[in-house]
Amino acid sequence: MAEVLPADGSVAHAAAERSTASLHRNVMIGIAIALVIAPFVAYPVFVMKVLCFALFALAFNLLLGYGGLLSFGHAAYFGMASYVCAYAAKHWGFNPEFAILAGTCVAALLGLVFGSLAIRRQGIYFAMITLALAQMVFFFSLQTPRFTGGEDGIQAVPRGKLFGMINLADDRTLYWVVALIFMGGLLAFYRIIHSPFGQVCKAIRDNEPRAISLGYRANQYKLAVFVLSATLAGLAGSTKAIVFQLASLTDVHWSMSGEVVLMTLVGGLGTIFGPIVGAIVIVSMQNFLATLGAWVTVIQGVIFVLCVLLFREGILGVIAKWIKKPL
């Protein structure tokens, strides 16, 4: 076996990590540039929709890709945040920043409560508990029309003035705010998975009993990553409510939970940027194939099956394999 001097090993190790980090930095800069150009070449509301769902998919991927926890009820945090944000903006007259903050905080709290119940079980049981709790949120939303507007949802949510100064009624103006929120969410996600905390989460994802045997209290880390994921999902849901001026039952429906799973898998589970690609693909498909009506769902189903059968790593997972670097 070829032995390498410790100094060389250390240098090689640092160099490998640096080159990956600089690749990621370049991709981030590329995304920022794309965000600047996007509203001039595409319909801003469409791009904002993509960004909200991309943020939602990032949140989901934080939990599944880096925490190893498959939640099948992420619509609960997305949708509840959407309701709270819409309600606060419409009925309490909150400024958009506070309405979004309120929605996000409620999602975090909900994540704390649901997470502490769900992490007691593993694998499929964990997924089923998250689904059951999310269904409770759905029926709660259905049964409390005074809060959620029932079947009508909360409509005509005022976009208001950011910090009481900047009028967000104009799509272009709102776009920059949403782009900043998205970029902030992406950077937060990147930091979390590259923090000392993220390291422990990845270890628990890879081999929970071993992480425990090293003295890590796995459940506390799982709960923490669950809450962080719910919070990011809440940020996405709140922002969505302001963009579309609407919060509805669709946001808390189980099919929303399914959609975010689909986006993450198509883009690349456990990749950093994959869920963004997945969100672009799925949202574009829904928009451009809208004329086909119910067939969109069928096409989505086919894509899902193809994805699982042919390229399980997702679009970016395949590319990452080509260039031999994590994306």
Partner 1 sequence: MSEDIILSTSGLTKEFAGFTAVNGVDLSVKRGTIHALIGPNGAGKTTCFNLLTKFLAPTRGSIVYNGRDITRQKPAEIARLGLVRSFQISAVFPQLSVMNNVRIALQRKRGDSFDFWRSEDVLRSLDKEALALVEAVGLSSFADLPAVELSYGRKRALEIATTLALDPEMLLLDEPMAGMGREDIERIATLIRKVSKNRTILMVEHNLSVVASLSDRITVLARGQVLAEGDYVTVSKDPRVVEAYIGSGVGHGH
> CA nearest 314: which of 278, 280, 266?
266
**Shortest Å distance, C-beta 130 to partner 1:** 21
Q: Which amino acid is at 67?
A: G
Residues 6+ positions from 183 with CB-CB distance below 8 Å:
31, 32, 35
Q: Which is nearer to partner 1, 9 or 145 (CB)?
A: 9
Residues 6+ positions from 306 with CB-CB distance below 8 Å:
none
Distance of alpha carbon 162 from alpha carbon 170, whole angstroms: 12
Q: How many residues bind partner 1 (CB under 8 A)?
A: 39
Interface with partner 1, residue 317, by CB under 8 A: no
Q: How many CB atoms lie within 10 A of CB 255?
A: 10
Q: Which is nearer to partner 1, 36 or 212 (CB)?
A: 212
245 DSSP 8-state letter: T
Interface with partner 1, residue 196, by CB under 8 A: yes
- Per-residue x/- marks for partner 1, 224-263, CB under 8 A? x---x-----------------------------------
**Shortest Å distance, C-beta 201 to partner 1:** 9
Distance of alpha carbon 70 from alpha carbon 74, whole angstroms: 10
Interface with partner 1, residue 221, by CB under 8 A: yes
Stretch that binds partner 1, among 69-77, 85-93, 141-149, 193-201 (CB under 8 A): 193-201
Which listed residue (144, 155, 207, 255) binds partner 1 by CB under 8 A?
207
**What are the C-alpha distances in Å from 209 to residues 187, 216, 253, 296?**
30, 10, 34, 42
Stretch that binds partner 1, among 34-42, 142-150, 204-212, 252-260 (CB under 8 A): 204-212
- Per-residue x/- marks for partner 1, 132-171, CB under 8 A? ----------------------------------------
Q: Which amino acid is at 325?
A: K
Strand ranges (E), 160-233: 161-162, 166-167
Q: Which residues are at the interface with partner 1 (CB under 8 A)?
A: 1-4, 6, 9-10, 12-14, 16, 191-192, 194-200, 202-203, 205-207, 209-218, 220-221, 224, 228
